[in-house]
Structure 1
């Protein structure tokens, strides 16, 4: 498989109180995303949540705790993920992934009829496409993710507590080279796209950490991992929706965050069967066995 160029999802955050008008931008006014060095890619499908698998749980941040009704997560992959999930129950469950990947992948739902800065909740928008891609490292080979590794991108409290986690982005299907941390207003015929680029430098020891980030961090701009960390496949999840009519759409968020787009976030728990992970690593390192 040939090398592909990957556009970074990192954008310069614009910290401000979320309010109508400030949280939406015409896609033509969004900045271009800088290109990352070339890297091989392995892409697979886990469907687009045709099963309607949604709940208020957060297996990574608050296991066994029911979340608030206004913060619903959408899942692909492991079909059993819920408030009472454990690593053992997940390992035995069925999956929506065509390649047998039992990992769980999730993010807040998008609602139409809602608007950032307002309290009204709209209807859940169903994705029309979800794409999972693992990228190699331009700085050298990657090693396998360990089973049960947790990964996080973005921050649900960013609107009120900026944390420098500008690691998720919004764009439109017709202009993927432009990225923004605001809700994009896309042209007719285009789709709204959320892009989650996860960190890919593992500390080699922990499967999780207190803040769910210290054990798995982002590489430098050239793709190199810091000393003491090891490059693992870099996961990207892209979620596409039909273009909403106007600016009445927003993600579920905690009330103080007022549905700000800057609070977008996603998580994964890696439960890929070891032969499948080995295939992914072989593809990314050598180009052999790529789909």
Structure 2
């Protein structure tokens, strides 16, 4: 799989909205379990926590290791703005979340809807996709740092006979904000720019290169729901080349 080349955002939970014609992401930063425990309620980390079953972990790892199936297309973005909002997990609650870096749609905030995003503008290529993406803001010595770039890859589907287009308004969460080990957050991987190896744990990159983080999104959808109570159950990772019976419809794999 092609990696997402992105300046490090130390994150372990991701949210995705298919808001207009694309997707939105939200990742909680990994700052230590003790801090998470003390401040989870106030920073919104607890709302992003999730425990993957062994079967789910195995499916995620298998999908990440699978060869590219067919062609791909991509979206290249820069940071647009910064807010303490999360339109998926805390809709309508401005400032309720930890601080996020927003990409693509310039209007995105806690009250965003499909209609408001559709009326907005984008700072990404292609400009026809007005969806919003967001990740927790990286801080270095207390100073917020925007990523140099964000690239989202949409990759080949598994089962062409059950392929469907991404529905407008689809939203879901990926990751575990309270993970205390790499195995508890198998959807997140780390690498160094220009190197082929990756790890589910943080990596120390050599001088002259930069840390990159990429996230693997599920490829299977239940065909009915744009969301679910935990923002996850209407989506699933393919097992081998087959989607589970509960989520039988296949869609392009997202790397973010």
Distance 1:34-1:107 versus aligned 2 partners, 3 A rule: closer
For 2:133, the equivalent position in structure 1 comes to: 105
Asked if structure 2 preserves the Cα contact closer than 8 Å seen for 1:203 and 1:216, the reply is yes
Distance 1:80-1:46 versus aligned 2 partners, 3 A rule: farther
Structure-2-length-normalised TM-score:
0.69
Which of the numbers 43, 51, 67 marks the counterpart of 2:73?
43
Q: How far 1:130 sits from its partner (Å)? A: 1.3
Which of the numbers 145, 160, 165 marks the counterpart of 1:140?
160
For 1:187, the equivalent position in structure 2 comes to: 206
Which of the numbers 143, 168, 171 marks the counterpart of 1:150?
171
Distance 1:6-1:223 versus aligned 2 partners, 3 A rule: farther
- SS of 1:90's equivalent in the other structure is helix
- SS of 2:87's equivalent in the other structure is coil
Q: How far 1:83 sits from its partner (Å)? A: 1.6
Q: Deviations over 1:158-211 (max 9, x none)?
A: 349x99542112221132422223x32110111111101111210000000000
Distance 1:41-1:110 versus aligned 2 partners, 3 A rule: farther
- Output the CA distance in 2 between the equivalents of 1:80 and 1:145: 22
Q: How far 1:80 sits from its partner (Å)? A: 0.7
Distance 1:6-1:98 versus aligned 2 partners, 3 A rule: closer
- Output the CA distance in 1 between the equivalents of 2:144 and 2:228: 32
Which aligned pairs between 1:50-199 and structure 2 lie closer than 5 A? 51=80, 53-68=81-96, 71-99=98-126, 100-113=128-141, 122-140=142-160, 142-159=163-180, 164-181=184-201, 183-199=202-218
- SS of 1:151's equivalent in the other structure is strand
For 1:257, the equivalent position in structure 2 comes to: none
- Output the CA distance in 2 between the equivalents of 1:191 and 1:40: 29
Asked if structure 2 preserves the Cα contact closer than 8 Å seen for 1:137 and 1:224, the reply is no
Structure 2 unpaired stretches of 5+: 4-31, 35-62
Distance 1:176-1:106 versus aligned 2 partners, 3 A rule: farther
- Output the CA distance in 2 between the equivalents of 1:215 and 1:74: 26
- Output the CA distance in 1 between the equivalents of 2:75 and 2:166: 19
> Matched residue pairs, number?
198
- SS of 1:89's equivalent in the other structure is helix
Asked if structure 1 preserves the Cα contact closer than 8 Å seen for 2:90 and 2:96, the reply is no
Query: Would you say 1:227 and 2:252 are equivalent positions?
Result: no
Q: How far 1:54 sits from its partner (Å)? A: 1.3
Structure-1-length-normalised TM-score:
0.61
Distance 1:34-1:158 versus aligned 2 partners, 3 A rule: closer
Q: How far 1:75 sits from its partner (Å)? A: 1.7
State the superposition RMSD in angstroms. Answer: 2.7
- Output the CA distance in 1 between the equivalents of 2:148 and 2:196: 16
